[in-house]
């Protein structure tokens, strides 16, 4: 067991009030890990006050339950803040986290800039939810895992690992997922909520398949403009999901979706297999994991520069490696 895990538990025991935070534009892992950890702590330490405080939410994950009412500043003042699934401070959704007495970071992203009095970071984990499951496993004599907590945690593990497909999935991932299933997760309901799509979304995906382009060396990409979002009645969240339309094109080891934000900036969702792309994302105001990153560009010129850099990266990769598909 990692010493950081024990340090996290000791800190939790030392506080009566705990507030959990996640990154903005939350995904399944951000929502699942915070809700799962909150439920784990509530069931295990009923005498403590445990809150979730976030400034934005995800429609897609609304089936896991709603958000909590904002708390007054006084509650933050004596609280332990725990930030899950968030690599850097500037990505924390609720900026009032600074009011907490102390802050802990629990995360599986490549650490770019650390924060908090205590960090438990395991970048080889497939999700932060996997870390929460491991936390329960390590201290199961002292903790209580409810069916609700198992469902939140399982949801984050499924979504962040691409349904247990990505390379950071390990035997340990599967053993922990098995433990959660044994706690009563209703797979039918979780998968139906996660993967059923609206009719309009299928139409949009057909459009994306038609519009996507590929560079000389195999970088697939698509641009989603504000006009396209309007035409297909898409939220930013629905529009950005199109990155997965390009995830299984042979020889295209790097792919990206460029989604125009309302303020004109362009959100980049960058994905890859075999090739490491996080340094490319970091060059364009982003970061993330070796094969799944986010970034932001502010003009078409910058977007094309990123595509060109991705193409060069892929060219070099293909020239120097074998066995890729
Ligand atoms: P996304 O395409 O937004 O789903 O991001 C893929 C992964 O990269 C997620 O784990 C995000 O948390 C992370 N990520 C996205 N944008 C950034 C960023 N600007 N800086 C650091 N990590 C990011």
Q: For residue 302, what pLDDT is reported?
A: 98
* 202-320 maps to CATH 3.30.1300.10: no
- Over residues 261-307, the pLDDT tens digits come to 999 999 999 999 999 999 999 999 999 999 999 999 999 999 999 99
pTM over 0.95: no
Taking CA atoms only, the protein residue closest to ligand 1 atom 10 is 288
Ligand 1 pocket mutation, candidates 84, 288, 297, 298, criterion most atoms within 8 A of CB: 288
Which regions of the chain are under pLDDT 70? none
Bridge partners for 223 per DSSP: 258
Supply the pLDDT for residue 1.
84
Residue 98 half-sphere exposure toward CB, CA atoms < 13 A: 5
| CA 167 – CA 124 distance, rounded (Å) | 10
Phi and psi torsions of 236, nearest 5°:
-60, -40
- CA 241 to CA 301: how far, in whole Å? 24
Index of the ligand 1 atom closest to the CA of residue 86:
12
Domains in the chain: boundaries: 3-194, 202-320
Q: Please work out whether the CB of residue 287 comes within 6 Å of at least one atom of ligand 1.
A: yes
Angstrom distance (rounded) from CA 158 to CA 188: 13
Over residues 97-116, the pLDDT tens digits come to 999 999 999 999 999 889 99
Q: For the beta carbon of residue 18, count every other beta carbon within 10 angstroms.
A: 23
Ligand 1 in reach of 87 Cβ (< 6 A): yes
Domain 3-194 falls under CATH 3.30.9.10: no
């Amino acid at each position: 067991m990692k010493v950081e895990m024990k340090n996290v538990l000791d800190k939790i025991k030392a506080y009566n009030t705990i507030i959990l935070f996640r990154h903005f534009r939350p995904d399944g892992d951000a929502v699942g890990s915070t809700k799962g950890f909150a439920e784990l702590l509530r069931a295990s330490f009923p005498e403590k006050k445990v809150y979730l405080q976030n400034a934005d939410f995800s429609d897609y994950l609304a089936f896991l339950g709603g958000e909590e009412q904002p708390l007054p500043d006084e509650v933050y003042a004596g609280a332990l803040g725990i930030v899950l699934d968030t690599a850097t401070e500037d990505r924390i959704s609720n900026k009032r986290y600074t009011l907490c007495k102390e802050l802990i970071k629990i995360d599986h992203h490549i650490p770019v800039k650390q924060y908090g009095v205590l960090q438990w970071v395991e970048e080889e984990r497939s999700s932060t939810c996997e870390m929460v499951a491991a936390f329960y496993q390590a201290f199961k004599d002292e903790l209580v895992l409810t069916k609700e907590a198992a469902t939140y945690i399982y949801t984050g593990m499924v979504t962040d690992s691409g349904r247990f497909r990505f390379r950071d999935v390990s035997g340990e991932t599967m053993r922990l997922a098995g433990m959660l299933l044994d706690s009563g997760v209703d797979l039918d309901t979780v998968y139906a909520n996660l993967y059923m799509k609206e009719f309009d979304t299928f139409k949009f995906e057909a459009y994306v398949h038609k519009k996507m382009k590929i560079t000389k060396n195999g970088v697939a990409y698509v641009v989603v403009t504000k006009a396209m979002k309007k035409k297909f009645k898409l939220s930013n969240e629905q529009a950005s999901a199109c990155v997965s339309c390009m995830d299984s094109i042979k020889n295209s080891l790097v792919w990206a979706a460029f989604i125009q934000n309302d303020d004109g900036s362009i959100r980049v969702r960058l994905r890859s297999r075999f090739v490491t792309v996080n340094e490319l994302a970091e060059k364009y105001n982003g970061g993330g994991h070796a094969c799944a990153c986010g970034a932001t560009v502010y003009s078409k010129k910058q977007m094309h520069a990123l595509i060109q850099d991705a193409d060069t990266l892929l060219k070099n990769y293909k020239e120097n490696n074998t066995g890729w598909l």
